[in-house]
Chains A and B, each alone.
Chain A
């Protein structure tokens, strides 16, 4: 089992009251509330904490990016990935992920990722995402073509990584005269690609069709099982049987020496009033054309306040009871994680450990206990259940490299 450490890199040093007064903590909430002195401090603290996570035993560091909001300070995930490539030695650098549709030049993205892979000596895991609705608006990218751009950019990056240049790309959303970057990935056929997500069925099916692992981002047990069912069926249609190596699960976990302290800090997971991506207008999160037409009718009613959020907004206590948030001493956390893992059987575990305004000392203690005590116990437990990660399972990087599908010609590596 692969176990990785994650934090949103919260921009915790801002005036929370200003956000509440404004009524939103995303997209249009003014960056006049961003203090670069505090930003500089926090970036460097988060960097030190990643290094600590490696020292304490984490298999991977998971990175992401968001825009225009205090809940996440990473505006370019490749920046931190590049830094970690140089300052860490062992951990996988797991980008979950680069928002492909935001890129106007996917070849440049392929170049950057190839550089990160080479500098890290082959430790890159290159996840891709559609990017939330607010990310499209913050970057001026048309939400109505989000999924088309995602798939075309993926195909262009994949071809850039696997076929010798120069070649020409004449697509619908991207045209390139001379694709021939003098930077190619060290890992062959190309770095592993994992696809994180929360609910979109279309993305789960596409991911299974590629044979990429799907990482469920803090979904409920019930939703996670539904994702597995959808993936399993699409995998069977593609000719293979999905296993634990095809599934990952990100869960919020906070560990301290005492349960009391762990629970107090874990409340910080609710610092955005329970909204993952900050307080925002529904049409920012789901601009027209971004979401599946099947959900249109329900969404428009929610967007004008006539229906409740289909995702709900459970309290902290409910989320602890439902294993959506786990907090406690190492022993307590290990017991809860075992329960979760038995019921979801992932080969990849992301631990979102610190959020909001948890103090530097407590963040570091959490990382020490998590990576030093919890992760080894869970990895041993996972091994007993036969939960292999993609490396242990020697899973193909993409469906086209499968050797277990009868009648399928294996692509050259």
Chain B
């Protein structure tokens, strides 16, 4: 079945926010990684076969305009809460990927009863009890995404030879990561204390070879959340939805469907 995706632009907080939307069913907001997102992914298509999937480009990433004032993922969470209000979409489910998982956790903590389900995949946002979140600042544009895959072939399958356009997009994405998550790098010191209020059932998914956000962070998320299930995926890195799209899609669809 081929999914029809449409692109729209919404004015939110003084900037033009780009949103890709496709599929039918209950609404799911998918929040992409710090490296941005490619236009189409098998994971997105699999979700859209069962749900109404909204994929915004984070403000300042991809095709969304940069808010010069943006300083923190919590600001991005507020922008998305504004977006959902404007779209009249209460009670959506959140699927946060990596850095997008941090934004999803911020959104859920700010509105504890506001979301139907919460799915975190390799989420940043809290300080790992063991190990550190990998610092993209001191490695090349290609080495960082590559480190997020267990199998280099999986990286090549998504990005191929890596176009100059993609390199530029990664540089812009990196700049936005610095503007919003520089210090402490990729986590909040207050978020862990706010996770306990979240009433949405949560699924925490981690690649067992995540070299970007240590597995210990996933276990910490699962402990801090009120109603969470932790699942790891074998032979899989940080960019789990790109490396193991079928496995991640099945877990997410099963979880979102039974609630």
On A, residues with C-beta under 8 Å from B are 27-28, 137, 140, 142-145, 281-284, 287-289, 296-297, 299-301, 303-304, 306
Contact = CB atoms under 8 A, between A and B. Distances in A.
B175 interface: yes
Contact of B178 (A27, A28, A281, A288): A288
B168 A297 contact: yes
A145 B69 CA distance: 11
B182 interface: yes
Contacts of A299: 171
B164 to A, nearest CB: 6
B179 A289 contact: yes
Contacts of A283: 137-141
Nearest to A298: B164
Most buried by B among A140, A144, A297, A301: A144
A300 B138 contact: no
B46 to A, nearest CB: 31
Interface in B136-192: 137-142, 162, 164, 167-168, 170-172, 174-175, 177-179, 182-183
Residue of B172, B177, B178 with most chain A CB atoms under a 10 A cut-off = B178
A236 B16 CA distance: 38
A287 B137 contact: yes
Given A142-B182, A283-B139, A300-B141, A288 B168 contact: no
B182 A297 contact: no
A303 B175 CA distance: 15
B167 A137 contact: no
A304 B142 contact: yes
Interface string B108-145: 00000000000000000000000000000111111000
B138 A144 contact: no
Contacts of A282: 140
A297 B141 CA distance: 13
Identify the interface centre among A283, A301, A303: most chain B CB within 10 Å of its CB: A283
Given A296-B168, A300-B168, A145 B179 contact: yes
Contacts of A137: 137-138
A283 B170 CA distance: 12
Contacts of B141: 283, 300, 303-304
19 contacts: A142-B179, A142-B183, A144-B182, A281-B140, A283-B139, A283-B141, A284-B138, A287-B178, A288-B137, A288-B178, A289-B174, A289-B178, A289-B179, A297-B164, A297-B168, A300-B164, A304-B140, A304-B162, A306-B164
A296 B179 CA distance: 17
